[in-house]
Amino acid sequence: MTTMTQQSTRFREFKMPDVGEGLTEAEILKWYVQPGDTVEDGQVVCEVETAKAAVELPIPFDGVVRELRFPESTTVDVGQVIITVDTGGGDAGEEPEPVAAAEPVADAVPLPGNEDGDDAPKVRTPVLVGYGVAESSTKRRPRKGAAPAGAVNGTQAVAVTLTPTEPQAVTDPQAVTDPQAVPGPQDEPEPQAGAVADAGRPLAKPPVRKLAKDLGVDLARVVASGADGIITRADVHAAAAPAPSVPDSAPPAQPAPEAPEPYETPRAEASAPAAGARETRIPVKGVRKATAQAMVGSAFTAPHVTEFVTVDVTRTLKLVEELKSDKDMAGLRVNPLLLIAKALLVAIRRNPEVNAAWDEANQEIVRKHYVNLGIAAATPRGLLVPNIKDADAMTLPQLSAALGELVSTAREGRTSPAAMQGGTVTITNVGVFGIDTGTPILNPGESAILAVGAIKPQPWVHKGKVKPRQVTTLALSFDHRLVDGELGSKVLADVAAILERPKRLITWG
């Protein structure tokens, strides 16, 4: 009975949490640890994707990873155990019992005590075949002034932790038991900037790892340019860029074009089909599955009405150029989307009835006295609609800063579930793809969505003469249970009027 109690105390299980509101499952995207690794309370052990966002999961206790219950790309129900950790529980005076293994790889390796010689040498006991108990967390950074590769720091050495995926794993048992044979994890040489990470796990932040996965780049082959050998986003993009096929005659490679608008993130290219394959099946899960269900529910629940207007936005584009040189907007991203968003917020202020929601259960219309402005963003994981909380209360510089933060967060895959909840109206920019207009579907729970088409020079009657002007088409879809034709027309007309003469931002705002 005592042994069973100690074992239950020693081995702790970490279950898949509900990282959103009411979510029932999540897909494991990436494991950051392997069996035998030492973890600390608060250390991120894996990245998972829910129906709303990709999030990182920290472990809530210290110990050594004993087992990973599910491989990557597996969908796991909330509440299921995903990782088991040996926390070294039980009586302090007893040695923890090793887990049964088919064939031990090496004998226990004694470690030297402290400098005073008061403590007896520690003993490292293998807990799984091919693994050793690491003395330090695997979440480490290169040490300054580390010894060269192959050298051991001073006279103290620890046994190397082996993993089946590391190419430098030692297979000779004598090499493992000899403390001078290989440097341990703490004696790892410091990576040099510009060198390829060829030993251990490459140093990169989780968003950079996610980008590398989306682009199909092996981080072990990426040349790191960041401080202390850390791989940056630019390094990943450089590794993903195809080399010219004919170096002698081909023109110099051009830099990757910048996204037309900052809030639209290009999707990762689909992998090429196998030779002779006539079909490719792609599992629908995560964000794409949630988006599909939400769009079907919205289309067949809310009666959609879409209205269109074509407007001359030449003055708006001139104002954008003026704002770029304004000292109050220094360091902020200024583009047409910023003024379109501000125009919509002013139109909602003039027509507050449009900012509402339909409560089916209580048969009530819920009017919102705040505007959480959603921005539809195309990401490699699918369509996301994070929103800016209380956007109606922001000044133009504040709105610009909020849009910039929303963009960078979405591009790095760090959009939280909370950022995608509670939206009231949305803007979607199909113009970045060269599309003139469309009939957007409402984001569930919202009353309206504004689609912005491509801005193009077109012949336009201006002051009685036909002149080339910058023209775009706006489309407003709204829930006809909440918004009738008159109200919807007023909102769309106000947005168009402001973009045609942006000084109305002052007189109407």
- State the pLDDT at residue 235: 81
Higher per-residue pLDDT: 266 or 299: 299
Instruction: Give domain status of residue 230, yes or no.
Output: yes
- State the pLDDT at residue 497: 97
Instruction: Give domain status of residue 310, yes or no.
Output: yes
- State the pLDDT at residue 241: 67
What number is the average pLDDT over the span 110-137? 43
| Beta strands, E only, 193-263 | none
Same domain, 349 and 208: no
**Is the pLDDT reported for residue 189 higher than 80?**
no
The span from the CA of 224 to the CA of 211, in Å, is 15
- State the pLDDT at residue 153: 41
For 436, counting Cβ atoms within 10 Å of its Cβ (0-12 exposed, 13-18 middle, 19+ buried), the class is middle
**Is the pLDDT reported for residue 176 higher than 60?**
no
**Is the pLDDT reported for residue 100 higher than 70?**
no
User: Minimal CA–CA distance to 30: which of 161, 169, 201?
Assistant: 201
Residue 416's contacts (CB-CB under 8 Å, 6 or more residues apart) are 53, 55
What's the structural domain count of the chain? 2
Residue 151's contacts (CB-CB under 8 Å, 6 or more residues apart) are 183, 187
Rg from Cα positions in the chain? 29
Same domain, 372 and 302: yes
- Please state whether 194 falls in left (phi above 0), alpha (psi between -120 and 50) or beta: left
Instruction: Give domain status of residue 180, yes or no.
Output: no
Catalytic positions, please? Answer: 480
Q: Which of 38-42, 130-134, 136-140, 188-192 has the lowest mean pLDDT?
A: 130-134
Instruction: Give domain status of residue 71, yes or no.
Output: no
Q: Which of 193-202, 258-267, 431-440 has the lowest mean pLDDT?
A: 258-267
Please write the tens of the pLDDT for every residue from 321-364. 999 999 999 989 999 999 999 999 999 999 999 999 999 888 89
Residue at 117: amino acid letter: G
Q: Which of 21-30, 87-96, 163-172, 447-456 has the lowest mean pLDDT?
A: 163-172
Q: Which helix (H) or strand (E) holds 466?
A: strand 465-479
Residue at 326: amino acid letter: D
**Is the pLDDT reported for residue 192 higher than 90?**
no
Give yes or no for a contact between 427 and 375, defined as CB atoms under 8 angstroms apart: yes
Q: What is the CATH number of the domain that holds 498?
A: 3.30.559.10
- State the pLDDT at residue 296: 72
Instruction: Give domain status of residue 216, yes or no.
Output: yes
26-61: b or e for each residue (b if 16 or more CB lie within 10 Å)? bbbbbbbbbbbbbbeeebbbbbbbbbbbbbbbebee
- State the pLDDT at residue 324: 93
Same domain, 195 and 315: no
Count of CB atoms within 10 A of residue 345's CB?
A: 23
Q: Which of 180-184, 323-327, 343-347, 400-404 has the lowest mean pLDDT?
A: 180-184
Same domain, 454 and 379: yes
The span from the CA of 371 to the CA of 407, in Å, is 19
User: Minimal CA–CA distance to 265: which of 410, 403, 399, 436?
Assistant: 410
What number is the average pLDDT over the span 250-259? 41
Domain boundary among 179, 213, 243: 243
- State the pLDDT at residue 443: 87
The span from the CA of 501 to the CA of 473, in Å, is 16
Q: Which of 287-291, 326-330, 421-425, 435-439 has the lowest mean pLDDT?
A: 287-291
Higher per-residue pLDDT: 437 or 219: 437
The span from the CA of 211 to the CA of 268, in Å, is 9
**Is the pLDDT reported for residue 15 higher than 70?**
yes
Ranked by mean pLDDT, the top range of 223-232, 275-284, 401-410 is 401-410
Residue 472 tokens, joined: 């775009």
Same domain, 365 and 419: yes
- DSSP notation for 401-459: HHHHHHHHHHHTT---GGGGSS--EEEEEGGGGT-----PPPPTT-SEEEEE---EEEE
The span from the CA of 58 to the CA of 37, in Å, is 14
Neighbour order of strands in the sheet with 11-15: 11-15, 81-86, 63-68, 38-39
**Is the pLDDT reported for residue 448 higher than 90?**
yes
**Is the pLDDT reported for residue 163 higher than 60?**
no
Q: Which of 3-12, 161-170, 286-295 has the lowest mean pLDDT?
A: 161-170
Same domain, 297 and 413: yes
- State the pLDDT at residue 418: 82
Q: Which domain holds residue 221?
A: 189-243
Instruction: Give domain status of residue 31, yes or no.
Output: no
Please name the residue ranges forming H helices in 111-242.
Answer: 173-177, 206-215, 233-240
Give yes or no for a contact between 383 and 293, defined as CB atoms under 8 angstroms apart: no
The span from the CA of 457 to the CA of 147, in Å, is 63
Instruction: Give domain status of residue 375, yes or no.
Output: yes
**Is the pLDDT reported for residue 470 higher than 90?**
yes
Same domain, 291 and 237: no
The span from the CA of 192 to the CA of 195, in Å, is 6
Q: Which helix (H) or strand (E) holds 27?
A: strand 25-31
Same domain, 209 and 316: no
Same domain, 388 and 442: yes
Same domain, 215 and 309: no
Same domain, 222 and 298: no
Tell me how far apart the terminal alpha carbons of the chain are, to the nearest angstrom: 74
The span from the CA of 355 to the CA of 337, in Å, is 20
Give yes or no for a contact between 372 and 296, defined as CB atoms under 8 angstroms apart: no
- State the pLDDT at residue 75: 86
Whole-number average pLDDT of the chain: 74
What number is the average pLDDT over the span 268-296? 68
Q: Which of 37-41, 148-152, 283-287, 302-306 has the lowest mean pLDDT?
A: 148-152
- State the pLDDT at residue 107: 43
What helix, strand, coil percent values describe the chain, rounded to 5? 25, 20, 50
**Is the pLDDT reported for residue 139 higher than 60?**
no
Residue at 479: amino acid letter: D
Higher per-residue pLDDT: 340 or 272: 340
The span from the CA of 105 to the CA of 174, in Å, is 10
Give yes or no for a contact between 424 and 371, defined as CB atoms under 8 angstroms apart: yes
Half-sphere exposure of 1 (CA within 13 A, CB side): 0
- State the pLDDT at residue 228: 75
Instruction: Give domain status of residue 52, yes or no.
Output: no
- State the pLDDT at residue 286: 65
